[in-house]
């Protein structure tokens, strides 16, 4: 898990090793592409990824902020990043005027990458999450079924069933595990709880 978390920090690690500066928390904002962060809409939040000049110009048109795209303070990505404190409120003010669905449609039509910030319920209900078996059922000792996250590692040729075996009971496999580490110990399963 540590490896995965470090790999996700590729930008922060590269910035630290190149400059010696320890990156600070930025919320949802990307450290070097602006605007590339979450904005509140009238009914939720969207991530907007307009981190190059062409996408920024399209975003400004969609938001009714064409004059902002022409402002020399925001003429390049590096200038937008340096002046994010002035830019963010302009975008946030426009985004707050309409619901997420309105902006999703308008931004998609303009070719500006964006996505809603999903609740857990929204995330597991997505067709892709279901198609990838990312929610599986596991029987509990009381006979009920628990729904838990599936395995994200998919390997062709290996089944990825929508249900899993129950977790073993306390000491259920003790003898087998001990036998694996201590040759000569009888390999029998404890069927008791």
Task: Give the catalytic positions in this structure.
Answer: 30
Q: In whole angstroms, what is the distance from residue 84 CA to residue 61 CA?
A: 18
Q: In whole angstroms, what is the distance from residue 132 CA to residue 150 CA?
A: 9
**What are the residues whose beta carbons fall under 8 Å from the beta carbon of 187, sequence distance 6 or more?**
175, 176, 179
- For residue 24, what is the DSSP state? P
Closest to 68 in 3D by CA, of 91, 102, 42: 91
Structure token digits, residue 124: 């597991």
Structure token digits, residue 187: 């390999």
What does the angle CA 132 – CA 144 – CA 1 come to, to the nearest 5 degrees?
Answer: 45
């Amino acid at each position: 898990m540590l490896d995965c978390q470090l790999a996700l920090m590729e930008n922060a690690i590269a910035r630290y090793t190149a400059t010696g500066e320890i990156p600070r928390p930025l919320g949802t904002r990307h450290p070097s592409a602006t605007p590339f962060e979450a904005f509140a809409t009238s009914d939720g939040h969207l991530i907007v990824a307009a981190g190059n000049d062409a996408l920024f110009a399209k975003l400004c048109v969609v938001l009714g902020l064409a004059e902002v795209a022409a402002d020399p303070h925001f003429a390049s990505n590096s200038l937008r990043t340096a002046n994010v404190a002035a830019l963010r409120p302009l975008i946030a003010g426009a985004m707050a005027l309409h619901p997420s669905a309105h902006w999703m449609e308008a931004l998609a039509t303009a070719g500006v990458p964006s996505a809603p910030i999903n609740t857990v319920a929204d995330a597991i209900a997505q067709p892709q999450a279901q198609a990838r078996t990312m929610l599986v059922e596991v029987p509990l000792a009381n006979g009920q079924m628990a729904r838990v996250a599936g395995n994200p590692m998919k390997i062709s040729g290996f089944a990825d069933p929508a249900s899993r075996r129950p977790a073993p009971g306390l000491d259920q496999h003790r003898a087998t595990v001990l036998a694996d580490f201590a040759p000569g110990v009888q390999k029998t399963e404890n069927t008791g709880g």
